[in-house]
Structure 1
């Protein structure tokens, strides 16, 4: 039987964390599901590779704090099903001037999430690894911590296959032919047909959306992932030092960190910003300014780390203009669902994103306010070929 003789209930394009979570949910719900990935797995060309990500309930927007309640439940279920340890609840600490912390505290209160406010003197006493400005305070999120990214991604893919899903990697989708049955053609010459399609392509979203006459206002950045060596062994281990976020940390650009956990004696401290790149051509850009900015930050704020990075890795993030996700149906084709623009904070949301996208595919109403995530919230720069719509 050739590939185009099969009609799947759903084809998910993109086997990053969002696509893999969605495919898992659909297969678990009894949908015949094909998951397609353009690169051979595992790979580091998208946004879901690497050893760790921060997780937290603390968000400036209450909706994300609410979504994370469901997401934590999803991570727990995945861990139980897979038998793989995929998170470490070492806590997440927000540090900044109180004006940054006010909406975060509101969101935690509204959603009844456990947290604690800390004064500057309490921060200095409990976390001596920091040197902080006089106007800083903190919020400690007890449910925050580390997600083990590579393990989480593989667990979703393995469980997807156990539920009967089909995963094909090394096949890039080159064309989308909409209709009651959507036809996808790939670089291998295969054709796949599905009653519904989910496009979860990360930085490559607009490359394929162009085939449907649609472009989203997305900006792809190459972000440096930097690891810094401890001066005192064990001072920043996850049983003593939490994940942290400093939204005002470097000229108003958020700094984030995980403790010494994945590489012994090394702490991940990064700037959530980088040069804009083509997702297929991301090497060769100037990233020296990121390194220099972070060296100053580590020198000033984390004096117990050596101020020169010991390891430099790279990741790609795809930003929407307002930092909110796109989780929506195609404006013309109801059976094409789009997930994009995760803006550096989508990994932790993957379990709930998978549920939302599965609900959209199945014609159900998600349990969250989807106005935050609609394509139509931007009036300009979205549709590139109105004749096709």
Structure 2
């Protein structure tokens, strides 16, 4: 969309506002029709809405008041890395780094801190060897270190025999909360509308999809569902259930609407990390300074779902990011927007198709 188009969209947005909540979220006085609705304002949904706002009038809905810490996109930091055992993720990461840098430039905000990433593994482990090959095949700057090399270079690290390391020199951390806020701010700058604090209670598929929330009714030519742990609860409204498991990092299952009760119990993750740090990094204090919890939404193969609804082609699903999706959000959002707009996807999406699973109908 050209600059004048963005200004016009912003004027339309302002003319429909009757109040502005804390954080600058626009509240429309009447419900109406937009080109695209995105449900779920985590990093995947927000980046999808950001890409779509350059081409069409887009509405982003979240059931909680923003910002919140109930999903999978909150917190101080996330890892960003090129090292993967599956080469198609490493192939996507090249553009992800470019788009994160672009977001920094567009918002004049530091979002990425380079640190490097040390990946440890047994020298004969097939997955570890595949990670090494993936970095080499994609010309990613890296160094291979033996256990002796690691001890010499990082004296605080003590590795057992037979364990070596890969140093992904491109890796670092993303400032998660800051990144999410800036994507949403840029989305609004491009004329996008955010309705937070509205839970979706009904979805009616048709040429114009009707979405009913606790506060209004909206219609759009296209709908994107990026609701993280709540994805299946929404897909049940349109006759679909995917093999998604909501869990903590340690693998224990969770209901996203019961997380406040579950998180009162001590996390197994804290004990696992404390034991690992005491054993492998004896010079560090193993006790956490800050503990933040978020949920994963896992698929059986830990690959994403990026696809059309099998029966309603104007409903797009982005789900199952399995604890490693944040860094890939710029490209995920781009791909989901391409599926929405009927454009040829920038990447081969065969690993992310819904048809790889045995689907359950809920109708």
Maintained 8 Å contact 2:75/2:292:
no
Could you say which residue in structure 2 is the equivalent of 1:213? Answer: 239
The reply on whether 1:24 has 2:50 as its aligned counterpart is: yes
Q: What runs of 5+ residues in structure 2 fail to find an aligned partner?
A: 1-15, 17-27
Could you say which residue in structure 2 is the equivalent of 1:103? Answer: 130
1:213-292 alignment to 2 at 5 Å?
A: 213-222=239-248, 272-285=249-262, 286-292=265-271
1:355-374 alignment to 2 at 5 Å?
A: 355-374=334-353
> 1:243-268: CA deviations, max 9, x gaps?
xxxxxxxxxxxxxxxxxxxxxxxxxx
What is the count of residue pairs matched by the alignment? 333
Could you say which residue in structure 2 is the equivalent of 1:11? Answer: 37
Maintained 8 Å contact 2:314/2:340:
yes
Higher strand share: 1
CA deviation after TM superposition for structure 1 residue 317, in Å = 0.9
Maintained 8 Å contact 1:176/1:182:
yes
Maintained 8 Å contact 1:4/1:193:
no
Q: In the aligned structure 2, how far is the partner of 1:93 from the partner of 1:7?
A: 49
Higher helix share: 2
SS at match of 1:129: coil
1:321 to 300, 306, 329: 300
Could you say which residue in structure 1 is the equivalent of 2:8? Answer: none
SS at match of 1:350: helix
Could you say which residue in structure 2 is the equivalent of 1:146? Answer: 173
CA deviation after TM superposition for structure 1 residue 117, in Å = 1.1
SS at match of 1:312: coil
Q: In the aligned structure 2, how far is the partner of 1:290 from the partner of 1:112?
A: 34
Q: In the aligned structure 2, how far is the partner of 1:349 from the partner of 1:359?
A: 16
Q: In the aligned structure 2, how far is the partner of 1:220 from the partner of 1:193?
A: 29
Deviates more, 1:11-20 or 1:125-134: 125-134
SS at match of 1:314: coil
Could you say which residue in structure 1 is the equivalent of 2:63? Answer: 38
The reply on whether 1:303 has 2:282 as its aligned counterpart is: yes
SS at match of 1:124: helix
1:41-60 alignment to 2 at 5 Å?
A: 41-60=66-85
The reply on whether 1:179 has 2:206 as its aligned counterpart is: yes
Q: In the aligned structure 2, how far is the partner of 1:288 from the partner of 1:355?
A: 35
> 1:328-387: CA deviations, max 9, x gaps?
0001000000000000000000000011001100111212221110111012xx3223xx
SS at match of 2:346: coil
SS at match of 1:198: strand
> 1:286-313: CA deviations, max 9, x gaps?
4454333322212101112223333322
Q: In the aligned structure 2, how far is the partner of 1:207 from the partner of 1:54?
A: 29
CA deviation after TM superposition for structure 1 residue 273, in Å = 2.1
> Scaled by the length of structure 2, what TM-score is found?
0.88
Distance change (3 Å), C-alpha of 1:170 and 1:288: closer
CA deviation after TM superposition for structure 1 residue 314, in Å = 1.1
Maintained 8 Å contact 2:31/2:217:
no
Maintained 8 Å contact 2:235/2:241:
yes
Distance change (3 Å), C-alpha of 1:216 and 1:4: farther
Could you say which residue in structure 2 is the equivalent of 1:94? Answer: 119
Distance change (3 Å), C-alpha of 1:162 and 1:210: same
Could you say which residue in structure 2 is the equivalent of 1:338? Answer: 317
Maintained 8 Å contact 1:3/1:191:
no
Distance change (3 Å), C-alpha of 1:38 and 1:213: same
Q: In the aligned structure 1, how far is the partner of 2:188 from the partner of 2:71?
A: 21
Distance change (3 Å), C-alpha of 1:309 and 1:89: closer
Q: In the aligned structure 1, how far is the partner of 2:295 from the partner of 2:130?
A: 28
Q: What runs of 5+ residues in structure 1 fail to find an aligned partner?
A: 223-271
